[in-house]
Amino acid sequence: MTELLAAERRDIVCEDLVRIYTAEGVEVQALQGLNLRVDEGEVVAVVGASGSGKSTLLNILSGLDSPTAGVAKVAGHDMLTMKGRERVRYQRHTVGFVWQQTSRNLLPYLTAAENVAVPAAIARQGGQARAERVDLLLETLGVGHCRDRRPAEMSGGEQQRVAIAVALVNEPRVLLADEPTGELDEATSADVFEAIRHANTEFGVTVLVVTHDQAVAGHVGRTVQIRDGRTATEILRRTELDEHGQEQHIAEEFAVLDRAGRLQLPDDFVGALRLQDRVRLALEPDHIGVWPDEQERQRRGEGVAGE
Ligand SMILES: Nc1ncnc2c1ncn2[C@@H]1O[C@H](COP(=O)(O)OP(=O)(O)OP(=O)(O)O)[C@@H](O)[C@H]1O
């Protein structure tokens, strides 16, 4: 595939994305050159510890905040230059959001169906078509039975599935979700992820979920780990049939190489060989070797790893 065709199929592109906050004269680099690409129709989770930059990334992608430098594009919209009217249209039609707090997603005095109809009414979507889409979404997401209930009459998981319907009513290309299962137990979280996958396959929406919960990795095809505002590793999942015809779930972890050729070594690798400051590299026919700097280690009075 040519580079141009590949670029057209990307719904989210972040290249060397930087966001610096200045608070009381102190600079905080929340994103320090983050790289991320999500193709059309993918479901990707961005996983990172508290303070790693997840909310900052999501605020930029949802058009609530602007990057300090770098590239951030969603469905062809440039988040660095987007202004006024384009921003409103973008938030209404191109992206849908689901937030962690169930109370932030739904209006408490409206029923599920009325909640889902609100963004469609604001976007002036016609009456009959709107009603049909509301019912289709609630049924597809497994909350048709909640149609006439208010949020207080639904479980947390049902509220989040209705929230996904709200986010999808104007047919966005990208669904952004911030810790959508943060307030839910494991079984209910699995139901919400099932609904997200359903939304992806039925409506073709691209999904980016941001969470600190490593267990979420089991529910999506690709997990991107961020650390200190940078992409660290990626886990890809696939299902293969073994020689007995049984499904095998395979997960492989990759380090991420950025455009400048930089890669972050996993902490446990660095710790196991006590790598520090300088390392030796050697190019082999099919791999690159990384060794500790023995001279430096001897100078520090340390032995060879594994001794
Ligand atoms: N408005 C702000 N002003 C100053 N610093 C900020 C601001 N927002 C975030 N930060 C800092 O930027 C860094 C990244 O924060 P961010 O909220 O993106 O992390 P996070 O991964 O979403 O964390 P959490 O899971 O705890 O929400 C943190 O060090 C945070 O203190």
Task: Report the Cα 250 to chain-centroid distance in Å.
Answer: 21
Query: How confident is residue 238, by pLDDT bands cut at 50, 70 and 90?
Result: confident
Query: Token digits for 148?
Result: 């006439």
Comparing 100 with 143, which gets the higher pLDDT?
A: 143
Task: Identify whether the C-beta of residue 204 lies closer than 8 Å to the C-beta of residue 9.
Answer: no
pLDDT of residue 258: 76
Q: Best mutation site among 14, 18, 19, 56 for ligand 1, i.e. most ligand atoms within 8 A of its Cβ?
A: 56
- At 15-65, the pLDDT tens digits run 989 999 988 888 888 998 899 999 999 999 999 888 889 999 999 999 989
pLDDT of residue 209: 93
Decide: 26 in ligand 1 pocket, CB within 6 A: no
Rg of the chain in Å (alpha carbons): 22
Domain with CATH 3.40.50.300 in the chain: 3-241
Query: How confident is residue 251, by pLDDT bands cut at 50, 70 and 90?
Result: confident
**pLDDT above 50 for 66:** yes
Task: Identify whether the C-beta of residue 16 lies closer than 8 Å to the C-beta of residue 73.
Answer: no
CA of 57, closest atom in ligand 1: 18
Q: Output the pTM of the full model.
A: 0.84
pLDDT of residue 144: 93
Contacts of 215 (CB under 8 A, 6+ apart): 186, 189
- At 6-25, the pLDDT tens digits run 566 789 999 989 999 988 88
End-to-end CA gap in the chain:
48
- At 122-155, the pLDDT tens digits run 777 767 777 788 999 999 999 999 999 999 999 9
Q: What is the ipTM of this complex?
A: 0.93
**213-229 b/e (C-beta count within 10 Å ≥ 16 → b):** eeebbebbbbbbbbbbb
Please compute the mean of the pLDDT values over residues 75-90 and round it to a whole number: 89
Q: What distance in angstroms lies between residue 50's CA and the mean position of ligand 1's atoms?
A: 8
Angle, CA of 15, 16 and 19, to the nearest 5°: 115
Amino acid sitting at position 201: T
Average pLDDT of the residues of the chain: 86
Decide: 212 in ligand 1 pocket, CB within 6 A: yes
Q: Is 97 helix (H, G, I), strand (E, B) or coil?
A: strand
Amino acid sitting at position 306: G
Q: Please tell me the total number of residues recorded for the chain in this structure.
A: 307
Q: Best mutation site among 17, 19, 22, 28 for ligand 1, i.e. most ligand atoms within 8 A of its Cβ?
A: 28
Comparing 119 with 251, which gets the higher pLDDT?
A: 119
Task: Identify whether the C-beta of residue 105 lies closer than 8 Å to the C-beta of residue 163.
Answer: yes
Least confident of 18-27, 63-72, 153-162, 261-270: 261-270
Q: Strand 222-227 to strand 43-47: parallel, antiparallel, or no bridges (unpaired)?
A: parallel
pLDDT of residue 249: 78
Decide: 64 in ligand 1 pocket, CB within 6 A: no
pLDDT of residue 216: 77
pLDDT of residue 6: 59
CATH number, domain 3-241, options 3.40.50.720, 3.30.70.100, 3.40.50.300, 3.30.499.10: 3.40.50.300
CA of 22, closest atom in ligand 1: 4
Q: How many CB atoms lie within 10 A of CB 20?
A: 14
Q: Is 38 helix (H, G, I), strand (E, B) or coil?
A: strand
Comparing 219 with 126, which gets the higher pLDDT?
A: 219
Contacts of 224 (CB under 8 A, 6+ apart): 36, 44, 45, 46, 47, 231, 233, 234, 256
Query: How confident is residue 256, by pLDDT bands cut at 50, 70 and 90?
Result: confident
**pLDDT above 70 for 219:** yes
Contacts of 304 (CB under 8 A, 6+ apart): 294, 297
pLDDT of residue 2: 56
Decide: 211 in ligand 1 pocket, CB within 6 A: no
CA of 212, closest atom in ligand 1: 25
Helices (H) and strands (E) in the chain, counts: 10, 13
